[in-house]
Amino acid sequence: MDPEEIGRAAIKRAIKALRRRHLLEEGAHSAAILALSKPFAAQGLEWKEKAESLELELQQCYKAQSRLSEQLVVEVAESRTMKSIVQEKETSMTNLQNDMTQTREENSQLKADLDEKTKTVALLISENQSLKAQLEEGLLKLKDTEAENKKLIDRMMLEKMKDAEKLNEVNALYEDLMQRFKVSSIEQLARLQVDGVVRRSEAGYENFVATTVPSVCKHTIHAHEGGCGSILFEHNSDKLYSGGQDRTVKIWDTKTGTQSGTLRGCLGLVLDLAVTHDNRSVIAASSSNNLYVWDVSTGRIRHTLTGHADKVCAVDASKVSTRHVVSSAYDHTIKIWDLQKGYCINTIISPSNCNSLAYSLDGLTICSGHIDGNLRLWESNTGKLISEVAAHSQAISSISISRCGNIVLTSGRDNVHNLFDMRSLEVCGTFRSNGSRLASNWSRSCISADENYVASGSVDGSVYIWSRIKADTLSVLEGHSSPVLTCAWSGLGKTLASADKNGNLCIWA
């Protein structure tokens, strides 16, 4: 028999013997084991609970481990992404470093250029200072030249005034001579042929009376609320039109002092008036930037002329055509209108705002007075500037053309009234008085129909009248209680009207 098998058999026998012994001992000690097993059973339950608790914790740990694994996977992916971003950033950084190197080189070049430019600027500054010194020297010379020029102009104006005074003396002598020969038929014939006197062929001749200086206020009328800035006589008539701040134009019979009509529809203050030479239409310049044209017979508005961009301060109608009207506004424009068509046919751009204007007797020339004190003459057909003259040291407020058309009267805020020869623009008369002061930029003066007298309103409420023939003759009419804004003389030669800031009209005779 093999020794290994013998050993296995011996071991089996020994094991059986141990089992039998164990069974015997277990039976002998079963009571003791039972007694001892009770504590172990209770402890086993406790261990079982702990084991269950530990198993639950183990499950939770597995779950946490699963979450951590997922998070780890995400973080690994993010890490890879970040790694690629870092690589891109490193690439960008390398590019930026290269760019920075190139920029440094360019900066160095620019710095060199800047140093060169700085030197150039310093040179230019020194040259500029030199030129500035030369400019200051030139300005001083210019100032001296302007002062000398002003003195020369003053001297020239003084000489012109002396010439005008001499001319007035000559006119006075002429008037005296004419008075001496009034009774002769030759003198009567001469009067019918000389410009400035109404001819027999003219309408209204039979009613014309040589102008005399009025002395009495025949009628005092409260015409408008808020002031009356414009009055105008109808051609060869004693009918008077007045425009005021109440946006109306009123018609007056100066013989009786009664109102004969009212023209309504103007949307702004009435600043100036004009009448067509056939007396059928009245035109008003308004602060509403428009002109309004009324048919006198019906009292209705025929046209509202729009086109100016600011208040319209002056208007006049042609003396030879019922179609053409000229206006000026504070938008530096002078516009010519066709009343048949109802729109503007020409626009003149003026270098200075125009306060007053008038058509010449032949309708071919427009005279305008401006804020810069200049009198300008324009071709009415083309709008071309014909000539201009410095008429006043301050703004011109009024322009009035004589009945013959050869003399234009200008009044300025320097409180001087000048008569100019239309053909030569030479001063042929100058009138002023210590008490006479114009009330506004639109104060209107007038010249009588026979051209012998000039009338102007004043701030003190008086109307001053100068004689053109006898320059030293001055009449003062008192009747207004507020500054007189405008005066108008009837074309028939006798009636004088004036209006003031309170809207009152005075009819003088």
If asked whether residues 273 and 212 sit together in one domain, one would say yes
Spatial strand order of the sheet with 354-359 comes to: 354-359, 365-370, 374-379, 385-390
DSSP character string of 49-67 = HHHHHHHHHHHHHHHHHHH
What per-residue confidence (pLDDT) applies to 198?
A: 42
> In this structure, are residues 504 and 234 in contact, taking their beta carbons and an 8 Å threshold?
no
CA dist 348 and 264 (Å) reads: 30
Instruction: With CA atoms as reference, report the closest residue to 479 among 90, 215, 99.
Output: 215
If asked whether residues 251 and 144 sit together in one domain, one would say no
If asked whether residues 331 and 262 sit together in one domain, one would say yes
Instruction: With CA atoms as reference, report the closest residue to 359 among 388, 301, 400, 387.
Output: 400
63 within some domain: no
34 within some domain: no
11 within some domain: no
Place of tokens 């006043």: 392
Task: Give SS3 for 503.
Answer: coil
CA dist 249 and 263 (Å) reads: 5
The whole-angstrom distance between residue 230's C-alpha and the CA centroid of its chain comes to 25
Strand 474-478 relative to strand 504-508, pairing: unpaired
If asked whether residues 309 and 350 sit together in one domain, one would say yes
What CATH number does the domain containing 492 carry? 2.130.10.10
* DSSP structure class, residue 384: -
CA dist 407 and 429 (Å) reads: 10
Q: By residue range, what is the domain housing residue 261?
A: 206-508
Which stretches in the chain have pLDDT values below 50?
183-206
If asked whether residues 260 and 167 sit together in one domain, one would say no
Spatial strand order of the sheet with 407-412 comes to: 396-401, 407-412, 417-421, 427-431
Tokens of 307: 């086109």
Q: How many domains does the chain have?
A: 2
If asked whether residues 400 and 287 sit together in one domain, one would say yes
Tokens of 385: 């500037």
CA dist 126 and 320 (Å) reads: 66
If asked whether residues 373 and 504 sit together in one domain, one would say yes
Show contacts of 280-287: CB within 8 Å, 24+ apart: 280/322, 281/317, 281/322, 281/339, 282/241, 282/249, 283/315, 283/317, 283/325, 284/230, 284/243, 284/249, 284/315, 285/230, 285/312, 285/313, 285/314, 285/315, 285/327, 286/247, 286/311, 286/312, 287/311, 287/312
Half-sphere exposure of 97 (CA within 13 A, CB side): 6
> In this structure, are residues 251 and 241 in contact, taking their beta carbons and an 8 Å threshold?
yes
> In this structure, are residues 399 and 408 in contact, taking their beta carbons and an 8 Å threshold?
yes
414 within some domain: yes
What per-residue confidence (pLDDT) applies to 190?
A: 41
> In this structure, are residues 429 and 166 in contact, taking their beta carbons and an 8 Å threshold?
no
By CB neighbour count within 10 A (0-12 exposed, 13-18 middle, 19+ buried), where does 205 fall?
middle
38 within some domain: no
Tokens of 194: 């000389």
What per-residue confidence (pLDDT) applies to 29?
A: 64
Task: Give SS3 for 312.
Answer: strand
Scored b (16 or more CB within 10 A) or e, 105-143 reads eeeeeeeeeeeeeeeeeeeeeeeeeeeeeeeeeeeeeee
If asked whether residues 126 and 259 sit together in one domain, one would say no
If asked whether residues 133 and 232 sit together in one domain, one would say no
59 within some domain: no
184 within some domain: no
If asked whether residues 316 and 444 sit together in one domain, one would say yes
For 128-177, how does the pLDDT look when each residue is reduced to its tens digit (9 = 90+)?
Answer: 998 999 999 889 998 888 888 888 888 887 787 777 677 767 766 776 67
> In this structure, are residues 227 and 209 in contact, taking their beta carbons and an 8 Å threshold?
no
- Stretch (H or E) spanning 261: strand 258-263
Spatial strand order of the sheet with 504-508 comes to: 217-222, 504-508, 496-500, 484-489
Apex 225 CA angle, 220 and 227, nearest 5? 75
* DSSP structure class, residue 435: T
Strand 228-233 relative to strand 446-447, pairing: unpaired
Instruction: With CA atoms as reference, report the closest residue to 329 among 286, 274, 379.
Output: 286
CA dist 377 and 357 (Å) reads: 10
Tell me the torsion sign for CA atoms 215, 218, 221, 223.
negative
If asked whether residues 312 and 447 sit together in one domain, one would say yes
Tokens of 439: 């009330």
If asked whether residues 331 and 413 sit together in one domain, one would say yes
Instruction: With CA atoms as reference, report the closest residue to 489 among 281, 240, 279, 244.
Output: 240
- Stretch (H or E) spanning 306: none
Tokens of 338: 């066709």
> In this structure, are residues 3 and 11 in contact, taking their beta carbons and an 8 Å threshold?
no
440 within some domain: yes
What per-residue confidence (pLDDT) applies to 274?
A: 97
